[in-house]
A and B are shown apart, each in its own frame.
Chain A
Amino acid sequence: MKILRWLLTRLAGGLFVLWAVATLVFIGIRLVPGDPVEAIVGGPGSQAGPEAFALARAEYGLDEPLIVQYGLMLANLVRGDLGTSYSLKVPVAEAVSEQLPGTLALALLAWGLAWLLALSVALFTALATGPRLSRVADAAGSGLEIFAAAVPHFWLGSVLVLVFATSLGWLPPVATDSPAGLVLPVATLALPLAGFLGQVMRESLATALASPFALAARARGESETGVVLRHGLRHAALPGISLSGWALGSLISGAVVVEALFARGGLGRTLLSAVTLRDIPLVTGVVLVSALTYVVVMAAADVVERLVDPRLGTTTATRAAQPDLAAGGGRP
């Protein structure tokens, strides 16, 4: 009953988001000066005649009244038809579904690596006890994280290529089918995220380890490792989970750059070329898919978060009381 209610609310919210995104984009196109048809026929070297214009206009339904176009778009959306790309001349749904797996794989690997790195650093600094060591570990961890979080993907990727591909020759500088070809793109995507996650996780871990329940555990004779693993870990993971939506955003934004840098096919590269070519249906398609992914990820994060932290299951009030985290972050 409760689950069903929750699912329905989620579903409605997700549908709303998708509808709103589609509508926003639709309005956006019409607000922009200039004829979208130019983008269709204005491909490289094009010297299209009026027939071509009329043809394209009819083909893309741009000769209908706006309200009809809008209705058509929604009707098509419902059927899963995202329209036809201006530049690729193929159905957007096809183009996007072709590119989605590659980006998802990249993002998931990067996400995993980021978590691994962030947790490792957090645990390492938490377990580094003793007067000097803990201070050094703390400073090093925090410095690394701040640096990593501040590094732009495009620069990190360039420098990694310079060092590991050009100078050392250990790894291919472009994405290849072999696992080695994934290392640099994934690392480029993961490191800044790891820096950011590390900051919140370490903070949360430190708070947990300084909290009375950790003291209580120590007072029961628990070793420091036991305290960290049995109590700290879950608390460290929580903000990471609740920042999933943010992380996804960072990964998608990063994918645009990383896929361009490492010449890897994917949604990011598709989006970038769609943006430069002003291929509005394709932009809309990528945006919708990313919004859909966001909705799914948020729902999943919500489930996981409730599993880890049953406090959230009880009332909406406690949820609202959760602090908003970090710059530009937060979640609905």
Chain B
Amino acid sequence: MTAPTPAPLVDVRGLTVSFGGGAPVVSGLDLSVAPGESVALVGESGSGKSVTARALLGLADGGRGGGRARVTADAFRIAGHDLRGRDGRVAAPAGLWRRIRGGDVALVLQDALTSLDPLRPVGREIDDALRLHTRLSPTGRAARVRELLAAVGLSGDGTDTGALRPGALSGGMRQRALIAAGLSGAPKLLIADEPTTALDATVAARILDLLADLRAPADGSPAAGMGQLLISHDLAVVSRVAEKVLVMRAGEVVESGPTAEVLADPQHEYTRMLLAAVPAGKPRGTRLCLPGATGTTAPPPPAARATPPAPAPTPATAAGAAADPALEAAGLVKMFTRRDEAGRAVAFRAVDDVSFSLAAGTTLGIVGESGSGKTTTARMALGLTDPDAGRVDLFGAPFAGDRGDGHPVAEAARRPRRPQLGAVYQDPLSSFDPRMSVGALLADAVSGGRTRRAGAHRRRIGELLDMVGLDAGASARHPRSLSGGQRQRVAIARALAPGPRVLICDEPVSALDVSVQAQILDLLDDLQRDLGLSYLFISHDLAVVRHVSDQLLVMRGGRVVESGETEQVFSDPQEQYTRDLLAASPALRAAAPGD
């Protein structure tokens, strides 16, 4: 797409990285980034994309020396410096590396509070590169820090953001500060490693806009014509920003090319699988796993093999919406206290008058950003937290909260009915007793807690494992030794063990790679169809919720801002907030037939 560039900022061929003599984690990678160009490196966990980014700065081993990382290349030129030694190893004097780092090339890591020193004011972090790479006086540097803060949108309302420590900033502000720290050395190339992963959708969208702005400079922008290398696991993010994309798998680039081309006409099977797995824009009931495509973890469940892709909605979803609700909440309120700046305890409504109705055999999605009250709502529905007001009925009978006479439903009264209601969590591992094997977990669930010996219920455990697409051998293993997708399958199997009719799924796929996410979503779909389950499905990810839900609830600040039929909400949002969410939600621009 871009015109041939005279001097690429990154010109690397045949980059190979290995640790401690092991198999290479990156092998034979070719990469070039021209000034003003935005290139994306996309891949799932363990594909080697972050290591590649670091290797470009000589930090493959994290910069702690030790020499365990072995980095070789056929060509390795960064910002005009040839850093390839005679033996093919990438090597340079420490001083040269230090000039390149922060000066020619900036690396912006994903936030999660950890990429900024929690003990230093952010201004100092931004100042670092100025101190190291410019000859400005201290006052000059202070002025420059203010300019940079302004450039990333961190000035205004009078507070000196530079004097604050990261703990006092929101996630989005931290990411901006981090970008400012990267820009301060006036780099020719900005490498951003998962810059939006930890952020809420609306915030992430603004960060992406900022990155785009930096590259397409307005007047006085600090980094006109800056090249960008974007690292992400999220194809949707990439499709929004990058001109060129490289798809990585297991240390190798499987496909590369202009973004639009790759998305529109993926050549490699893996790219196709990735694209198919993205739920955005896939109608309810569409299978996300390509038949025959193998995931990175487990084979597709038997149900998936048996059932052809079924675009038609199931009978339940078509007609059951009005029929007797499986789970119904009315006027749920939950108060929490938090401390204000003066240290006083202040009550606030974490959940404020939330009502919903989940029809049997359907899925009700709840979507919202962090702090919107989704999880508290789920906890109240599960009878784990007593609501301060309102009630939850399960199949028409009070299950939690006000049981009708002003008193809350007692746990003892609820306990016999608990088998009807199961739960699946975001992090399956933390919901397992770490001392128990898969078999023990399932035996415990099947027997109602009477035994943990898998032998006692071998047949039923086998059935459950088969149902979630795991083989019977998994019974003897410990969840720790399983992959993320397999763990989530175990969690689902356990939730199914008592024979529930309603499952509450709280961010069940948020921690998973997109291909694994696709498998789990498909599995949930199959189970719903086969077992007639009802789901309360909670997620921050609009695309996922849209894909799985019949009905939708949008939450913000503890309140329901919008609800209704999923497609209706998406196609005709009534509230501004919903529209903002939709706008911020990255979608595959090139391959979104549903749009």
Separation of A209 and B165 alpha carbons in the complex (Å)? 19
CB pair B103–A216 under 8 Å, yes or no, is no
- Nearest CB of B to A12, in Å: 15
CB pair B342–A1 under 8 Å, yes or no, is yes
**Counting CB contacts under 8 A, is B106 at the interface?**
yes
Residue interface mask A206-224, B partner, CB < 8 A = 1:
0001111111111111111
Q: A129-B64, A134-B65, A209-B64 are in contact. Are A215 and B109 (CB under 8 A)?
A: yes
CB pair B68–A131 under 8 Å, yes or no, is yes
- Those of B299-335 within 8 Å (CB) of chain A: none
Q: A131-B68, A212-B109, A309-B119 are in contact. Are A221 and B133 (CB under 8 A)?
A: yes
- Those of B497-536 within 8 Å (CB) of chain A: none
Q: Write the chain A residue with the least CB distance to B178.
A: A216
Separation of A157 and B62 alpha carbons in the complex (Å)? 43
CB pair B67–A131 under 8 Å, yes or no, is yes
Q: Write the chain A residue with the least CB distance to B338.
A: A315
**Counting CB contacts under 8 A, is A167 at the interface?**
no
- Nearest CB of B to A146, in Å: 22
Q: Write the chain A residue with the least CB distance to B116.
A: A213
Separation of A287 and B101 alpha carbons in the complex (Å)? 57
Q: Write the chain B residue with the least CB distance to A133.
A: B65
Separation of A30 and B97 alpha carbons in the complex (Å)? 73
- Those of A219-261 within 8 Å (CB) of chain B: 219-224, 227, 230-231, 234-235, 238
Measured between beta carbons, the chain A residues less than 8 angstroms from B116 are: 213, 216
Which residue of A216, A222, A310 is within 8 Å of B107 (Cβ)?
A: A216
CB pair A224–B63 under 8 Å, yes or no, is yes
- Nearest CB of B to A245, in Å: 21
Q: A134-B66, A221-B101 are in contact. Are A234 and B119 (CB under 8 A)?
A: yes
Scoring A129, A130, A316 by chain B CB atoms within 10 A of each residue's CB, the highest score goes to A129
CB pair B101–A219 under 8 Å, yes or no, is yes
Q: Write the chain B residue with the least CB distance to A6.
A: B343
Q: Write the chain B residue with the least CB distance to A131.
A: B67
CB pair B102–A215 under 8 Å, yes or no, is no
**Counting CB contacts under 8 A, is A89 at the interface?**
no
**Counting CB contacts under 8 A, is A311 at the interface?**
yes
**Counting CB contacts under 8 A, is B417 at the interface?**
no
Chain B residues within 8 Å of chain A by Cβ, number: 46
**Counting CB contacts under 8 A, is B273 at the interface?**
no
CB pair A219–B102 under 8 Å, yes or no, is yes
CB pair A130–B67 under 8 Å, yes or no, is yes
**Counting CB contacts under 8 A, is A88 at the interface?**
no
**Counting CB contacts under 8 A, is B132 at the interface?**
yes
Measured between beta carbons, the chain A residues less than 8 angstroms from B94 are: 223
- Nearest CB of A to B523, in Å: 33
Separation of A218 and B58 alpha carbons in the complex (Å)? 10
CB pair A213–B114 under 8 Å, yes or no, is yes
**Counting CB contacts under 8 A, is B129 at the interface?**
yes
Residue interface mask B173-204, A partner, CB < 8 A = 1:
00000100110010000000000000000000
Measured between beta carbons, the chain B residues less than 8 angstroms from A212 are: 109-110, 112, 114-115
Separation of A222 and B129 alpha carbons in the complex (Å)? 8
- Nearest CB of B to A309, in Å: 6
**Counting CB contacts under 8 A, is A79 at the interface?**
no
Which residue of B64, B181, B338 is within 8 Å of A220 (Cβ)?
A: B181
CB pair A310–B167 under 8 Å, yes or no, is yes
- Those of A53-109 within 8 Å (CB) of chain B: none
CB pair B106–A130 under 8 Å, yes or no, is no
**Counting CB contacts under 8 A, is B57 at the interface?**
yes
**Counting CB contacts under 8 A, is B467 at the interface?**
no
Interface SS of A by simple majority? helix
Q: Write the chain A residue with the least CB distance to B57.
A: A219
Q: Write the chain A residue with the least CB distance to B94.
A: A223
Q: Write the chain A residue with the least CB distance to B181.
A: A220
Q: A129-B65, A224-B63 are in contact. Are A2 and B119 (CB under 8 A)?
A: no
- Nearest CB of A to B346, in Å: 12
CB pair B339–A219 under 8 Å, yes or no, is no
Residue interface mask A159-173, B partner, CB < 8 A = 1:
000000000000000
Residue interface mask A311-325, B partner, CB < 8 A = 1:
100111000000000
Which residue of B67, B100, B342 is within 8 Å of A2 (Cβ)?
A: B342
Measured between beta carbons, the chain B residues less than 8 angstroms from A216 are: 107, 109, 115-116, 125, 178, 181
**Counting CB contacts under 8 A, is B241 at the interface?**
no
Q: Write the chain B residue with the least CB distance to A315.
A: B339
CB pair B102–A213 under 8 Å, yes or no, is no
**Counting CB contacts under 8 A, is B120 at the interface?**
yes
Measured between beta carbons, the chain B residues less than 8 angstroms from A218 are: 59, 62-63, 101
CB pair B128–A220 under 8 Å, yes or no, is yes
Which residue of A131, A217, A221 is within 8 Å of B100 (Cβ)?
A: A221
**Counting CB contacts under 8 A, is B206 at the interface?**
no
Measured between beta carbons, the chain B residues less than 8 angstroms from A52 are: none
Chain A residues within 8 Å of chain B by Cβ, number: 37
- Those of B234-254 within 8 Å (CB) of chain A: none
Which residue of B66, B99, B132, B168 is within 8 Å of A222 (Cβ)?
A: B132
Separation of A224 and B54 alpha carbons in the complex (Å)? 16
Residue interface mask A177-218, B partner, CB < 8 A = 1:
000000000000000000000000000000001111111111
- Nearest CB of A to B473, in Å: 36
**Counting CB contacts under 8 A, is B98 at the interface?**
yes
CB pair B102–A221 under 8 Å, yes or no, is yes
CB pair B63–A215 under 8 Å, yes or no, is yes
CB pair B185–A220 under 8 Å, yes or no, is yes
Q: Write the chain B residue with the least CB distance to A134.
A: B66
**Counting CB contacts under 8 A, is B118 at the interface?**
yes
**Counting CB contacts under 8 A, is A308 at the interface?**
yes
Measured between beta carbons, the chain A residues less than 8 angstroms from B62 are: 210, 215, 218
Which residue of B67, B100, B107, B120 is within 8 Å of A231 (Cβ)?
A: B120
Q: A129-B64, A129-B66 are in contact. Are A217 and B128 (CB under 8 A)?
A: yes
Measured between beta carbons, the chain B residues less than 8 angstroms from A316 are: 339
Separation of A2 and B101 alpha carbons in the complex (Å)? 43
**Counting CB contacts under 8 A, is B565 at the interface?**
no
**Counting CB contacts under 8 A, is B575 at the interface?**
no
Measured between beta carbons, the chain A residues less than 8 angstroms from B181 are: 216, 220
Separation of A130 and B107 alpha carbons in the complex (Å)? 24
CB pair B339–A310 under 8 Å, yes or no, is no
CB pair A2–B99 under 8 Å, yes or no, is no
CB pair B117–A213 under 8 Å, yes or no, is yes
Q: A130-B65, A130-B67, A212-B109 are in contact. Are A221 and B115 (CB under 8 A)?
A: no
Measured between beta carbons, the chain A residues less than 8 angstroms from B125 are: 216-217
- Nearest CB of B to A236, in Å: 11
- Those of A1-49 within 8 Å (CB) of chain B: 1-2, 5
Measured between beta carbons, the chain A residues less than 8 angstroms from B185 are: 220-221
Q: Write the chain B residue with the least CB distance to A233.
A: B119
CB pair A311–B67 under 8 Å, yes or no, is no
- Those of B333-380 within 8 Å (CB) of chain A: 338-339, 342-343
Measured between beta carbons, the chain A residues less than 8 angstroms from B338 are: 315
Q: A213-B116, A215-B63, A216-B109 are in contact. Are A311 and B167 (CB under 8 A)?
A: yes
Separation of A220 and B181 alpha carbons in the complex (Å)? 8
Measured between beta carbons, the chain B residues less than 8 angstroms from A221 are: 97-103, 129, 132-133, 185
Q: A131-B65, A134-B65, A234-B120 are in contact. List 5 more A-B contacts (CB 8 A).
A: A5-B343, A216-B125, A222-B98, A235-B119, A310-B119
Q: List 29 A-B contacts (CB under 8 A).
A: A130-B65, A130-B66, A130-B67, A131-B65, A131-B67, A210-B62, A211-B114, A212-B109, A213-B114, A215-B63, A215-B107, A215-B109, A219-B107, A219-B109, A220-B101, A221-B97, A221-B129, A221-B132, A221-B185, A222-B132, A223-B94, A231-B119, A231-B120, A234-B120, A235-B119, A308-B119, A311-B118, A314-B339, A316-B339
Residues of A within 8 A of B (CB): 1-2, 5, 129-131, 134-135, 209-224, 227, 230-231, 234-235, 238, 308-311, 314-316
Residues of B within 8 A of A (CB): 54, 57, 59, 62-68, 94, 97-103, 106-107, 109-110, 112, 114-120, 125, 128-129, 132-133, 165, 167-168, 178, 181-182, 185, 338-339, 342-343
